[in-house]
Structure 1
Amino acid sequence: MAIADRKLREKTERRQAILDAALHLFIEQGFEKVSMRNIADAIEYSPATIYLYFKDKNELLLDLQTQSFKQMAQELNAVANIEHPAEQLRAFGEQFLSFAFRHPELFELMFIMNGPMVAAQACAGATAWPGGGSAFAQVVAIVQRGIDTGVFRPQNADSTALMVWAQVHGLAALFLRQRLVVMPEERREPAMHEALAQFYDLVRRAL
């Protein structure tokens, strides 16, 4: 292996080691409590070394967020082979909720925290969102296929996808942020799935 290739591999591995250590600390202690120095101490690097790879904590969070979206995208591939667009859209929502419930810390990083978005905007403008853009594009593609195949009446795919996106995000956020205490505990999760099913039934009839 050429020296340049080895150095690049080592740099990539070191960067990933920083991200892995950061994520472990964030999940264990909370995103707000962990500093760049904490991360450096966890892997026995100097703080200066961390800053060679990440300008600040927000930039590190953005990289972790992008990785989290890739993880979610892999799980959402489970719905890729569903032929009927309306059923695929519903399965997408269920898979989204499942991911959020199993990875609440990642959901917070992906959809609640401001820090990663500050870094994204600083890097490439107000509309840039590397991970979120790809995930949203998946929803748009499902809706567009429904329009193209006549399952949905002609609509704007972006606005319809946004409506779906907001629905599943809202349900997940209400549950994870303890805002469903208005319902008995045993009804909360079943009610969410029922609400999602009813929503897609309305969507299917309306579109």
Structure 2
Amino acid sequence: MEPEIGRVMISPLSRREREKLQWQREILDAAQHRCLNQNFDELSMLDIANNVELYKATLYLHFHNKPSLIFSVMIESLKMLGNQLREAVN
């Protein structure tokens, strides 16, 4: 039997992939909290790493630099805002 057209097969994430996503979520949450209380120049990758109990080098494995981390925070914030607007309209 052939697979259905338009159907996407999604394989379950490995433990390592789930852990990576969890770390990224924690990093983004810590960075978002810091962004609310500090300006870009005051924001430190070391402070964010310390917040989530990671070495700074490990943080750089997830986000290559501060601008890429802040960009990811902004994207996540816009997604949340979009969801809130959709809920308000419905």
TM-score, reference length from structure 2? 0.76
Q: 1:58 & 1:18 partners in 2: Cα distance?
A: 14
Amino acid of the structure 1 residue aligned with 2:39: G
Counterpart for residue 17 of structure 1: 26
Aligned Cα root-mean-square deviation (Å)? 1.5
Q: Which has the larger radius of gyration?
A: 1
Aligned partner of 2:43 among 34, 50, 64: 34
Aligned partner of 2:73 among 64, 68, 77: 64
Residue 76 of structure 1 deviates from its aligned partner by: 1.6
TM-score, reference length from structure 1? 0.35
Identify unmatched segments of 5+ residues in structure 1.
Answer: 82-207
Higher helix share: 1
Residue 42 of structure 1 deviates from its aligned partner by: 1.6
Number of matched residues?
77
Indicate the larger mover: 60-69 or 27-36.
Answer: 27-36
Q: Structure 1 segments of 4 or more deviating over 4 A?
A: none
Counterpart for residue 8 of structure 1: 17
Identify unmatched segments of 5+ residues in structure 2.
Answer: 1-12
Residue 63 of structure 1 deviates from its aligned partner by: 0.8
Which structure exhibits the higher relative contact order, with contacts defined as CA atoms closer than 8 Å and separated by 6 or more residues?
2
